[in-house]
A and B are shown apart, each in its own frame.
Chain A
Amino acid sequence: MNIWRIVFKSLRQHALSTCVTAFSIALAGGLLMSVWAVKQQSQATFTGVNAGFDAVLGARGSKLQLVLNAIFHLEASPGNLAWSDYLDIKKNPSVELAVPLAVGDNYHGYRLVGTLPELFDKAEYSPGKKFELQPGGTMFDPARREGVVGDFVARKMNLKVGDTFHPFHGLIFNEKNQHAETYVVVGILKPSNTPADRVIWIPLEGIQKMSGHDPRAATDVSAVLVKLKAGSAIAGFQMDMMYNKQGNRLTFAWPIGSVMAELFDKIGWFDRVLSLVSYLVAIVATASILAGIYNSMNERRREIAILRALGARRFTIFTAILLEAAMISAIGMAAGFVVYAIIVTVVAGVMRAQTGVVIEPWKFNAVMLWAPAMLVALGALAGIIPAFKAYRTDVAENLTPHS
């Protein structure tokens, strides 16, 4: 029988208010940790995803739109660029690899991206990792109507090697816009946890010459992914100058990570609003601990008087109430990890479905330490006022039951 026993007994005796208050702490803690972890992980992931390239060359327009379109397969293309532009940059001595992309069609909302096989043969989507086909698959033949399907699309659309499909015109699915061409699935990519998982890859010419597309643009491309040679950092500056400052026809988005970081700067206010909301929830939850325990003080006065009459010191009672408040927070935070798991799992699922970017819900983040510590400390702080009230309880006056 020690002070912890007294604390646990009290928590049990006031089980309903303990549960309600702990639940509000769980929501606050779970929300706070989720916002923080999702923000940091998504920022790190989005600024880190570059498909193994340093820059994107595209039509004149927004760099962000260009990167979102060519790397993340989101947003519309800002326009086309001529085949000669692709050849020009490909020949640049500072360029190690240049891969053209063409977009404009979809299959039930999943993008068809036309490209060359060298995207799979030569590019590493992250250091040392190339796109690989699942067993039984082959790379598409650039001269045939064949497609290689990203892992996510294959699972969602239940596509297997040998299946056929008709592309639909545009980036948004509309069943009335079906193209006449029939494509055969020749390979499924192994999961790469990158936006490439959400794409159906077909030969470049497939998009360029799809029925219904403008024949005048039959050699155009939507963007060119550019990998600079190692040690050619200065080449990036030179190309930035050449395309963006001196030229007015094309846009050179370099470096890709910085372009994405600008996006997070622009939407930083949203993170701050979410953080503010979770801090407010934390404050409200803390206040509810204070109110819950403080309001129960009247009914506890006799119990406290009995404990004091048995020899418990004022400080023991004060500590017990403080620990009780901290324990409510601690229980709440334990449940907060469940709330966190639910929120982050849902967010990760939505993010993966929408962008192909994968975040890891259980990857360690410092917020998993400081948020629980902060909320338990806040809980204990909230316990000070009721603890002081308990400290001041008059023993003789409260030993007799008050009816």
Chain B
Amino acid sequence: MPEPLLLIHGLKKSFATPDGGHQLIVDVPDFSLDAQIQVALAGESGSGKTTFLNLIAGILKPDDGKILLDGADMAMLAESKRDRLRAEKIGYIFQTFNLLQGYTCLENVLLGMAFGKGVDRSFAEGLLKRVGLGDRLHHRPRQLSTGQQQRVAVARALANKPKLVLADEPTGNLDHKNARESLALIREACRENGAALLLVSHDREVLSRFDHVQQLDRINRAAQAEAIV
């Protein structure tokens, strides 16, 4: 049986509170995700979903536990190596897109490549054409609609041919029609590029489109405790 792409064990992360204490936000005993599988995590606000994704992406360092991504333990790596691993193996789609406003669509995608496997202009252009923005390569984000900005973010997330795409409420800022189209695009693009998808959302319409849906408060014991409180 092949190793899962992502294997998490005993993952814990807490943050300091204003009163000097610590609040546990993520406490995930076990979680795994196979390669090329698409999983949706259902979580309400405050369930620690963004922190969970940031831990997987290596943006945050856990207090304890293991995050094995394609065999490398993200939790044990030095920050610069986490940055490198994230750039090469993870694509991240944010709820607020996080496009750089001073850069064109193409430059945003190229920038995604610059810190990863290297710049490949024709591949970047191909990705933007794939998401329907072939005629918007040199537009800046603020010249695009919200839906179009989301598509640039999708193209950028796939720029380094990642093995895992993390999507944090990717449809949260879109209207119903754009949300449906955007979700379909993310799923198709991940499938075409052989990337696994881990998407968190609280939108039932979004969740209903996935075969594999897990409740975050069942995975994250810290969220369970929060719910009880």
* Residues of A that sit less than 8 Å from B by CB: 1-2, 5-6, 9-10, 12-13, 302-303, 306-316, 395-396, 399-401
Interface code B84-108, partner A: CB below 8 Å = 1, 0 otherwise?
Answer: 1011100010101011101100010
Given contacts A13-B102, A313-B83, is CB(A396)–CB(B115) below 8 Å?
Answer: no
What residues of chain B lie closer than 8 Å to A396, measured between beta carbons? 50-51, 54, 59-60
Question: How many chain B residues have a CB neighbour from A under 8 Å?
Answer: 31
Question: Interface centre among B54, B99, B100, by most A CB within 10 Å?
Answer: B100
Task: Say whether B102 contacts A1, CB under 8 Å.
Answer: no
In the complex, the answer to whether A309 meets B80 with C-beta atoms within 8 Å is no
B190 to chain A, nearest CB (A): 18
Q: How far is the CA of A139 from the CA of B159 in the complex (A)?
A: 84
**Is B59 in contact with A395, judged by CB distance below 8 angstroms?**
yes
Residues of B within 8 A of A (CB): 50-51, 54, 57, 59-60, 79-80, 83-84, 86-88, 92, 94, 96, 98-100, 102-103, 107, 110-116, 119, 156
Q: A309-B59, A309-B92 are in contact. Are A1 and B98 (CB under 8 A)?
A: no
Interface contact A1-B107, CB-CB below 8 Å: yes
Q: Give the complex CA separation of A34 and B60 in angstroms.
A: 53
In Å, the complex CA distance between A2 and B107 comes to 11
For A5, list chain B residues within 8 Å (CB).
107
B103 contact set on A, CB distance < 8 A: 9
A313 vs B87: C-alpha distance when bound (angstroms): 10
Q: Which residue of B lies closest to A306 (CB)?
A: B98
| A312-B83 contact in complex given A1-B113, A306-B100, A396-B60, C-beta closer than 8 Å | yes
CB distance from B104 to the nearest CB of A (A): 10
Provide the residues of chain B in CB contact with A10, threshold 8 Å: 102
Q: With the chains together, A233 CA to B111 CA distance in Å?
A: 74
Least Cβ distance of B155 to chain A in Å?
13
Known interface pairs A2-B114, A396-B60. Does A311 touch B100 (Cβ–Cβ under 8 Å)?
A: no
Pick from B94, B99, B102, B115: contact of A311, CB below 8 A. B115
B195 to chain A minimum Cβ distance, whole angstroms, is: 16
Does A308 contact B83, Cβ atoms closer than 8 Å?
Answer: yes
- Contact status B87-A311, CB under 8 Å: yes
Query: A311 touching B98 by the CB < 8 A rule?
Result: no
A317 CB, min distance to chain B CBs, angstroms: 10
Closest to A305 in B: B98
Given A2-B114, A309-B59, A310-B111: A315 and B80 within 8 A (CB)?
Answer: yes
Chain B residue contacts of A399, Cβ below 8 A: 59, 94, 96, 98
A312–B115 touching, CB < 8 Å:
yes
Assess the B100–A303 pair: CB atoms within 8 A. yes
B-side contacts of A306, CB under 8 Å: 98-100
Since A5-B107, A306-B98, A309-B59 are in contact, a sample of 20 more A-B pairs with Cβ atoms closer than 8 Å, ordered by chain A residue number, is: A1-B111, A1-B113, A2-B114, A9-B107, A303-B100, A303-B102, A306-B99, A307-B115, A309-B94, A310-B92, A310-B112, A311-B88, A311-B116, A312-B83, A314-B83, A395-B54, A395-B59, A396-B51, A396-B54, A396-B59
A316-B115 in contact (CB<8A): yes
Q: Which 4 A-B pairs have the closest CB atoms?
A: A311-B87, A311-B115, A1-B114, A1-B110
Q: Which residues of B contact A309 (CB under 8 A)?
A: 57, 59, 86, 92, 94, 98
Residue of A nearest to B90 (CB): A311
Choose one: A308, A311, A400; the contact of B84 (CB below 8 Å).
Answer: A311
**Across-interface contacts of B119 in A (CB, < 8 A):** 1
Which chain A residue has the least Cβ–Cβ distance from B86?
A311
Whole-angstrom distance between the Cβ of B174 and the nearest chain A Cβ: 16
Q: How far is the CA of A316 from the CA of B116 in the complex (A)?
A: 13
- Could you tell me the distance between the alpha carbons of A221 and B111 in the complex, rounded to whole angstroms? 82
Residues of A within 8 A of B92 (CB): 309-310
Q: Can you give 13 contacting A-B residue pairs, CB < 8 Å?
A: A1-B107, A2-B114, A6-B111, A9-B102, A306-B98, A308-B83, A309-B57, A309-B98, A310-B111, A314-B83, A396-B51, A396-B59, A396-B60
The CB with the most chain B CB atoms within 10 A, among A6, A306, A311, is that of A311
- Nearest CB in chain A to that of B95: its residue: A400
The complex places the Cα of A12 from the Cα of B100 at a distance, in Å, of 13
Residues of chain A contacted by B94 (CB below 8 angstroms): 309, 399
